[in-house]
Structure 1
């Protein structure tokens, strides 16, 4: 809804809103609201803000999915080996003994072993709810176009604050082991099943409402395109994310505990949370040909044991030909991703391929050819 237009310091002022009502046979009913505002003091400058509520009912798989087992490469803090928490802390030894580890110190986790983690649906799950705040601004100066400095120039920044309550997720198996050994948390210890000699037969990581997820950050974008010249058009696009916060809150026997994942990699299940990620695209367009280079940067992260996954930079190149005599309908694209053949950093706590496939590329270069026809 437009409110004010073309007055001093208010080139335009608009507000918006929405309401949504949901009803599920498995999760009941819920009503959510959103609201937004947009203010342009002058034609070149825009400020915006929004507030949104969210509601997500658990899916059929999350509610009724069958149990399955996976093997996680994680460390048992109750193992009696040099440098382990079991040897350095009397509290850990007492908690481990209470959890079924032999009091004589005979238990040692098998070298190179993986611990069985049981996952599956949970019919007692409640819906997730969320709230999101977003504040942002865009500067796109008319003088840059009118002076011939650029055919496009814009700077954009957005701050977000997202909170998810009753988030649906498994409790990380490593966290379960650590909380049982270090604090004797009854819920965590109950999720661990051991044999008579102390070996872990399974860790229960069934889906549950973990408590909450909270994340805050800043997204920044800058775009420049040159005027058309005899040498073609040049462009530069920069995008970055600064992660200010990422925490998850887990239920405990007495209240909740919070884990900060910012600047770390979770391991099992694989997921990394770098403090900064960014990419840049440089392109050149001259009639029937367009070439571009994309650089992707991921800041370093740490595993739970302090090992560092170094910062990573990927480079991608692409060339597109669209002959003018076919009215640019035919397009031939040739490209190579990871042209520098950058390997992902090794992750000792990650599953399967020993790196985090949710954040980093599959090792090796990837080349492709694409032929397209547009009407």
Structure 2
């Protein structure tokens, strides 16, 4: 297989100088091509034996040659053991890579105003700076400096020197479809799926956390962290360049636990329940120089989070041409650092300087009808966020006091209509 990717961005002059939305954005363009060859094999080991119903081995390999960084071979191995008719064990191991995209390679600088706390600044309550006085002085920060604005403009953008991300992934689990849940009075089909996963990524393409970069610059004076940060004569940060790089590594593991239940058909219709859960046990990220990144399960930091538990449950109903569903989306609680806000009573735990974002649950509903006289026309109407739930207030977030990467935009309850036509 041969593929070629090309991309370009040509903003108008007002956008280039930042007069369109206050954020300067420069033109850019780039391209790359790739040649690939791959092979997939399915190897039956046994069937209908004393060890079970069936055991299959899957093997796959892919060689990719990118014009931007060269060639790479990635294998995948898997086993699927049908122990009985209603119980399956499965496991897989794979190596992979992700080539940087055109935007990551050639993207022009973009600016974001982030909520950052300068270690060289006196705190809001008059607390002394947490950074070394000698190091702050070496950076040109005068004594008694106090940060005037907690939002600091940070620019980020592409890096043509990026290497691909490389990964190793392992998963193991089972699927149980008990015989007593099939074609029974209470169940047409019942399935339980449990999977353990572990992923290890080397050279992950990200920008180092901006707060971490600022802290490490003050703590170490290392040009690796300080070269992109300049200060005005007052000591305030005047420019902050936070480009994409290949971080050291990301390690994460956890569990996916899913349940699917199809009830028997009745005069009032047929109901189905799907309940999908993800539990994150570990998330560790290290920068290219080994610096630990602040992200971890259950922590809100840098306008983003990794909840320890996320859950989606959907109850659907079908009767003739009618269908409906009710969906529940749950996000477990998070904890954030209050920073200077710890001096005010809005922080839930002032003694420890932390604030809790409570667990949040959203409800959505939808009703639909399939029109017979126009084959494939599905009409739907829905109401999302039925109970008008707001996301929890985030004291450390820079975007209107909430985490836009984890929660819905706080627009409250809203409805929609949709028509889908399939041929």
Taking the aligned partners of 1:291 and 1:272, their CA distance within structure 2 comes to 32
Q: 1:228 to 1:165 in 2, by over 3 A?
A: same
Q: Output one character per residue of 1:134-187: Cα deviation in whole Å (capped at 9) or x when no partner.
A: 111100123322433311100001111011101111011111122233455552
Identify the match of residue 130 of structure 1 among 158, 167, 170. 167
**C-alpha contact 2:318 2:324 (8 A) present in aligned 1:** yes
Q: Which residue of 1 aligns with 2:355?
A: 307
Deviation at 1:33, TM superposition (A): 0.7
1:212 pairs with one of 249, 271, 275: 249
Q: State the secondary structure of the residue aligned to 1:347.
A: coil
Task: Give the 3 Å change call, closer, same or farther, for CA 330–31 of structure 1 in structure 2.
Answer: closer
Aligned mate of 1:264, from 292, 299, 320: 299
Name which of structure 1's ranges 139-148 and 223-232 shifts more when overlaid on structure 2.
139-148
* 2:318 aligned with 1:285: yes
Matches within 5 A, 1:83-98: 87=128, 89=130, 92-98=132-138
Q: Is the 8 A contact 1:249 1:259 kept in 2?
A: no
SS in 2 for 1:307: strand
Corresponding residue number in structure 1 for 2:272: 235
For 2:391, the equivalent position in structure 1 comes to 344
Out of 148, 164, 169, the position equivalent to 2:201 is: 164
Q: What's 1:54 paired with?
A: 96
Contact 1:243 1:276 in 2 (8 A): yes
Q: How does 1:1-375 map to 2 (within 5 A)?
A: 1-82=43-124, 87=128, 89=130, 92-102=132-142, 104-105=143-144, 107-111=145-149, 113-182=150-219, 184-252=221-289, 255-267=290-302, 270-305=303-338, 306-322=354-370, 326=373, 329-363=376-410, 364-375=412-423
Instruction: Calculate the TM-score normalised by the size of structure 2.
Output: 0.81
Q: Write the distance in 2 (CA, Å) between the matches of 1:125 and 1:147.
A: 57
1:84 Cα deviation from its structure 2 partner: 7.0
CA contact under 8 A between 2:312 and 2:330: conserved in structure 1? yes
**TM-aligned CA distance change 1:173 to 1:88, over 3 Å:** closer
Deviations 1:215-253 (A, max 9, x none): 11111100111111122222221111101111211134x
CA contact (8 A) 1:99 1:189 kept: no
Cα separation, 2, equivalents of 1:146 and 1:283 = 19
Contact 2:212 2:293 in 1 (8 A): no
Partner of residue 344, structure 2: none
SS at match of 1:251: coil
- Structure with more relative contact order (C-alpha pairs < 8 Å, separation 6 or more): 1
Partner Cα distance (2:269, 2:98) in 1: 48
The 3 A distance-change label for structure 1 pair 294 and 199 is same
Q: CA deviation at 1:258?
A: 4.8
8 Å CA contact 2:203–2:288 kept in 1: the answer is no
Counterpart of 1:359 in 2: which secondary structure? coil
Q: 351-360 or 148-157, which moves further after superposition?
A: 351-360
Q: Which moved more, 1:340-349 or 1:205-214?
A: 340-349
Task: Give CA-to-partner distance per residue, 1:35-77, whole Å, 9 cap, x none.
Answer: 1110011010011110111122222222222223222122212
Does the CA contact (< 8 Å) of 2:123 and 2:129 recur in 1?
no
Aligned residues of 1:279 and 1:296 also touching (Cα < 8 A): yes
Distance 2:299 2:199 in 1: 19
Give 1:327 deviation, angstroms: 8.7
Deviates more, 1:281-290 or 1:51-60: 281-290
3-state DSSP of counterpart to 2:218? helix
Distance 1:138 1:72 in 2: 44
- Unpaired runs of 5+ in structure 2? 1-42, 339-353
Aligned equivalents of 2:419, 2:113: Cα separation in 1: 42
Kindly tell me: are residues 302 and 182 of structure 1, through their superposed partners in 2, closer, same or farther at Cα, counting changes over 3 Å? farther
- Of residues 190-199 and 291-300 in structure 1, the stretch that sits farther from structure 2 once superposed is 190-199
**Number of corresponding residues:** 365
Q: Are residues 183 and 84 of structure 1, via their aligned partners in 2, closer, same or farther at CA, if it must alter by over 3 Å?
A: farther
Shift, 1:204, TM fit: 1.9
